[in-house]
Amino acid sequence: MTFPGRFSSLPDYVFPRLRKLLDGRAPGAEPFDMTIGEPRHGMPDFVAEIMAEEVGGFARYPKNEGTEALREAIAGWLGRRYGAALDPDSQIISLNGSREGLFHAALALCPEEKAGQRPAILTPNPFYGAYTLGAPVLGADLHFVSATEETGYLPRFDALPEELLQRTALVYVGSPSNPHGAVASMDYWEALLGLAERHGFTVLADECYSEIYRDVPPPGAFEAMQRAGTDPERLVVFNSLSKRSNLPGLRAGFAAGGKDAIARMKLLRAWGGAPLPGPIQAVAARAWSDETHVEGNRLLYRQKYDLADEIFGEVPGYAPPEAGFFLWLPVDDGEDAAIRAWEGQGLRILPGAYFARGDADGVLPGTGRVRVAMVAPVDDLRGALHRLRDVLYD
């Protein structure tokens, strides 16, 4: 059996890679996991009740694009949060979490050619893994754009050569970003959408951490689009309930954007996708309509930001996360630090380079970083962060 070569450069996913690194090494204390971005605060209390009421929905094929109630709830939330006026029928599609949509959007939206050449897909570097998979499937050029301390942790797409921008079809960008916790300002979004309009590419804006922040809500790409008056087809926004509502297992996300783009995504999904089960759509509709549980959740994250600032504030190079729930801590070498954290204190953290690829100059961003997920309840996290500081910085 011969497997396709197009994925041969794809490394193991980050978690098996860490297992390989740590296998055979004994933890120095009771193991404590800070790798996966899986929220461990309680899920909203209405979930079980709605699932029970709607259980009959499992006997029917669900709607590909999402029920009217769900799409209306999402449009309502986008309106309240960003002042965006989106048509629930033509501008929103429900997804099984945002990850599948981030991947499938590339298949649905990347043309075979751009400006008569092989199209390019741009991604920040470091990045969230789903941004990188469409390009090898499509035979497009995947171009990594550094998002490091030097660039303010966000990619500087505007500094790219004209030749590359002309053949750019899609640009992935996350805000708040994983792994850095950086927030794109309104100016950043406006400039990026302006660039998209000038060069005819589509921005795929991953905003799944948008509700996990300190005090000020991160601006969204839809807000910038309205201000700048850019063509709605230049933008598709992704979000989900995984982080906002502590429901990563529900697999309930959405994409929203220009009518043509969403129509392309619906078409592909109708032929080969898996719609979100009806009862789950009902829970999701309720969750997007409720902010009380989201505010309660944010209060808990605020305590964690304070805790992290207090514990790591004196560490040279510590960049307090603006939003999201990851710490992106400076170390000499990420793999060495992950081994020391495990062997010294039983703490599992991820080497930063696992979220990056070597760029054209041979630089691997994230080598001097580790990613630490602050998802555990604050009382459990406190001790773990103190142990982490001791093992990494004392």
Minimum distance of ligand PLP from residue 310's CB (angstroms): 25
* 148-177 positions binding ligand PLP, by CB under 6 A: 174
Nearer to ligand PLP, 34 or 311 (CB): 34
| Piece of the chain touching ligand PLP by CB under 6 A; list 44-52, 94-102, 116-124, 185-193 | 94-102
Minimum distance of ligand PLP from residue 386's CB (angstroms): 26
* 246-305 positions binding ligand PLP, by CB under 6 A: 248, 253
Q: Which two tokens stand for residue 299?
A: 């209060």
The 10 Å CB-count burial string (b at 16+, else e) for 95-118 is: bbbbbbbbbbbbebbbeeebbeee
Is 242 one of the binding residues for ligand PLP (CB under 6 A)? yes
- Using CB under 6 A as the binding criterion, the count of chain residues that bind ligand PLP stands at 13
Minimum distance of ligand PLP from residue 99's CB (angstroms): 3
Q: Which of 371, 374, 342, 344 is nearest to 21 (CA)?
A: 342
Minimum distance of ligand PLP from residue 97's CB (angstroms): 3
Contacts 24+ apart (CB under 8 A), 56-61: 57/277, 57/278, 57/279, 57/281, 57/282, 58/277, 58/278, 58/279, 60/278, 61/275
Phi, psi at 255, each rounded to 5°: -120, 145
Nearer to ligand PLP, 99 or 348 (CB): 99
Helix count and strand count (H, E) for the chain:
14, 12
Minimum distance of ligand PLP from residue 365's CB (angstroms): 16
Strands (E), 154-201: 168-174
| Piece of the chain touching ligand PLP by CB under 6 A; list 82-90, 96-104, 118-126, 265-273 | 96-104
Measured on CA atoms in the order 6, 10, 12, 13, is the torsion positive or negative?
Answer: negative
| Piece of the chain touching ligand PLP by CB under 6 A; list 9-17, 92-100, 223-231, 315-323 | 92-100
Nearer to ligand PLP, 99 or 266 (CB): 99
* 26-85 positions binding ligand PLP, by CB under 6 A: 37
Q: Which two tokens stand for residue 81?
A: 């949060």
44 backbone φψ class: left, alpha, beta (φ>0; ψ -120 to 50) = beta
Is 240 one of the binding residues for ligand PLP (CB under 6 A)? yes
Beta strands 369-373 and 326-330, pairing class? antiparallel
Q: How far apart, in Å, do the first and last CA atoms of the chain sit?
A: 52
Minimum distance of ligand PLP from residue 117's CB (angstroms): 29
Residue 391: half-sphere exposure toward Cβ, Cα within 13 Å? 23
- Cβ(189)–Cβ(219) under 8 Å? yes
**How far, rounded to the nearest angstrom, does the alpha carbon of residue 366 sit from its chain's CA centroid?**
17
Minimum distance of ligand PLP from residue 242's CB (angstroms): 3
Pick from 86, 140, 208, 311 the residue near ligand PLP by CB under 6 A: 208
- Give Cα separations from 10 to 7, 334, 343 (angstroms): 5, 20, 28
Nearer to ligand PLP, 155 or 253 (CB): 253
Q: Which two tokens stand for residue 36?
A: 């996966």
Is 206 one of the binding residues for ligand PLP (CB under 6 A)? yes
Nearer to ligand PLP, 242 or 345 (CB): 242
Nearer to ligand PLP, 240 or 345 (CB): 240
Minimum distance of ligand PLP from residue 251's CB (angstroms): 7
Residue 2: half-sphere exposure toward Cβ, Cα within 13 Å? 3
Minimum distance of ligand PLP from residue 249's CB (angstroms): 9
Minimum distance of ligand PLP from residue 200's CB (angstroms): 25
With CB atoms as reference, the residue minimizing the distance to ligand PLP is: 97
Binding residues for ligand PLP, rule: CB under 6 A, are 37, 97-99, 128, 174, 178, 206, 208, 240, 242, 248, 253
